[in-house]
Amino acid sequence: MDLFPIRPGATVALALALMAGGAGCESPQPQRQHPPGTLRIPYERADSHTGCLTASVAMVANYVLGEYRFSEKRLRHALERADLDETDPADVKNYLESVGLHLAIFRGELDGKPPLGLEYWVLQRGYPAICVINTHGGDPNLNHAVVVIGFSRTDAPESADTIYYLDPATADPLQKMPADEFERAWARAGHTMMVVVRPPAGEGQPAESQGEGHARCFTADWDSLCRTDGDGTRTGCG
Amino acid sequence: MSVAPPSRPHALTDAQFEALVRLENQPQHADARDVRASYTTEHEARMDATRWANNIATAGYHAGFAGAILTILIMAAPL
């Protein structure tokens, strides 16, 4: 008679469950499906330890171009060949200039006000935005680039309650984070924000036709920015 | 409640693009180019290595635990 039946399967399952539970417990909540209202960005995974910026730029550039031209690996190798640093936004910016794209780098804000607002770029202009966040603390060596693709709101006074983003370095690409938590992580990296845009094709015209009413609306937005210069104080930007 | 963005990015006019470039060159924004971003720095790579080592040690521990029970049962089995 078997007094002590052994079930090796149960032991293995317990070990696997413990291992799975112990891994990645610092990660934000994964989101399995794209919620409605988020940008459908083709995902690019960071294959190297330092590839989050190049993967993010590849995702965003492909989306803006509307075609798959950049992979993280290809972009990283191109930067290496040009003796540029893949973790340095200025170097990535220089490289993109050489292929006809502009990487705008500035210190953004969480709100929807042009031209610095994260919500403005994502929700009003339809551009995925690369944000550098730091969820580990103040050490700048732990800065991490992610691609913000959308927001969900409640009726609370805050403008955005949840931020959805693609993380090039996690098993679950689509992540979400409460807006206030994202704001803290973003602030640790100086609210660094990047947007890939196509330089305009012609004089006074957008690179792609968006309709007269739309163009007039956004020209009005940016005319106020054009009047702002000098000491950098923004006035009339919404 | 979610807010839907445009299906495609709205392109910039010349004026908007020039304004964006001017904005980037303002002192409070220009230094954002110096903020580096990397998935795993040396520190985080070491954390990954530690996590893997812990996982392997945990798996070994559980396999050893099951093996110990099996050994005890074999030793205790009536001949």
Mutate to test the interface with A, among B33, B34, B42, B50 (most CBs of A within 10 A): B33
Domain topology for A28-199: Cathepsin B; Chain A (3.90.70)
- Among A10-14, A213-217, A229-233, which range has the highest average pLDDT? A10-14
Total residues belonging to chain A: 238
A149 and A163 in contact (C-beta within 8 Å)? Answer: no
The pLDDT, as a whole number, for residue A50 is 83
Mean pLDDT value across residues A68-72: 94
User: Which residues of chain B make contact with A190, given a CB cutoff of 8 A?
Assistant: 31-32, 35
Mean pLDDT of A145-158: 82
Cα separation, A110 vs A129, in Å, equals 11
The structural domains of chain B, with segments of one domain joined by +, span: 42-79
**What is the per-residue pLDDT for A164?**
95
Return the ∠ at Cα B57 (arms to B52 and B62), rounded to 5°.
Answer: 130
Q: What would the mean pLDDT of A151-158 be, rounded to a whole number?
A: 71
User: Which chain A positions have a beta carbon within 8 Å of B73's beta carbon?
Assistant: 4, 6
Helix (H) or strand (E) holding A162: strand A162-166
Nearest-angstrom CA–CA distance, A127 and A130: 10
> What is the pLDDT at residue A25?
37
Mutate to test the interface with B, among A57, A111, A143 (most CBs of B within 10 A): A143
Mean pLDDT by 10-residue block, N- to C-terminus, for chain B (79 residues)? 81 93 93 82 69 93 91 89
Q: Rounding to the nearest 10 degrees, give the CA dihedral for residues A87, A167, B32, B47.
A: -60
Is residue A71 predicted with pLDDT exceeding 50?
yes
- Res. A230 pLDDT band, cuts 50 70 90: very low
What are the helix (H) ranges across chain B? 14-25, 27-30, 42-76
Q: pLDDT tens digits, residue range A86-140? A: 999 999 999 999 999 999 999 999 988 899 999 999 999 999 999 999 987 777 8
A38 CB neighbours in chain B (<8 A) are 2, 5
Of B2, B7, B12, nearest to A35 by CB-CB distance is B2
**Nearest-by-Cβ selection for B19 from A56, A199, A222:** A222
- Residues with Cβ within 8 Å of A142's Cβ and at least 6 positions away in sequence, in order, are A134, A135, A136, B41, B43, B44
**Do the Cβ atoms of A57 and A103 come closer than 8 Å?**
yes
Among candidate residues A15, A6, A23, the one with its CA nearest the CA of residue B60: A15
pTM, to two decimals = 0.71
Higher pLDDT, B9 or A19: B9
SS (H, E, C) A96-123: HHHCCCEEEEEECECCCCCCCEHHHHHH
Of the pLDDT bands very low, low, confident and very high (cuts 50, 70, 90), residue A159 is low
pLDDT classification of A26: cutoffs 50, 70, 90: very low
